[in-house]
């Protein structure tokens, strides 16, 4: 909780307690054996970027990986489930 000190128009001071919302961003790299071309990486990136909470998606054809940055309400389980649903399951 954070206390904020406010100054009213009449010159009086007041304090207000405010709950801080912490946005914790997570990042993880997944190995995706099914990646074989640019179409694969574009499909993964486009599908994941549409999900609420996904901040960034970068993939590599050569390394067969996808790196995803996310925050709530997205979860690791939802990401893995989505990768599996679009036929690019993480190893």
Give the per-residue pLDDT at 13: 58
pTM over 0.85: no
Give the per-residue pLDDT at 22: 63
CATH of the domain at 76: 3.30.70.100
In a domain, 33, yes or no: yes
Token output for 38: 């640019």
The more confidently predicted of residues 23 and 11 is 23
pLDDT in tens, 46-91: 999 999 999 999 999 999 999 999 999 999 999 999 999 999 999 9
In a domain, 2, yes or no: no
In a domain, 44, yes or no: yes
> DSSP assignment, residue 53?
T
Range of the domain at 74: 23-85
Tell which residue, 31, 25, 3, 27, has the closest CA to residue 15.
Answer: 3
In a domain, 80, yes or no: yes
Distant-in-sequence, close-in-space partners of 37: CB < 8 Å, separation ≥ 6: 61
In a domain, 1, yes or no: no
Return the bridge partners of 18, or none: 2
In a domain, 8, yes or no: no
In a domain, 51, yes or no: yes
In a domain, 17, yes or no: no
Is 60 exceeded by the pLDDT of residue 28? yes
Give the per-residue pLDDT at 9: 60
Chain centroid, CA 57 distance in Å: 9
Domain total for the chain?
1
């Amino acid at each position: 909780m954070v206390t904020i000190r406010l100054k009213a128009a009449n010159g009086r001071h007041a304090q207000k307690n405010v709950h801080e919302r912490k946005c914790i961003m997570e990042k993880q790299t997944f190995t995706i054996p099914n990646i074989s071309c640019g179409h694969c990486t574009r499909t993964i990136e486009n599908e994941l970027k549409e999900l609420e909470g996904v901040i960034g998606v970068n993939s590599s054809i050569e390394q067969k990986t996808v790196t995803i940055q996310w925050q709530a309400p997205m979860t690791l389980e939802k990401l893995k489930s989505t990768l599996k649903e679009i036929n690019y399951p993480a190893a």
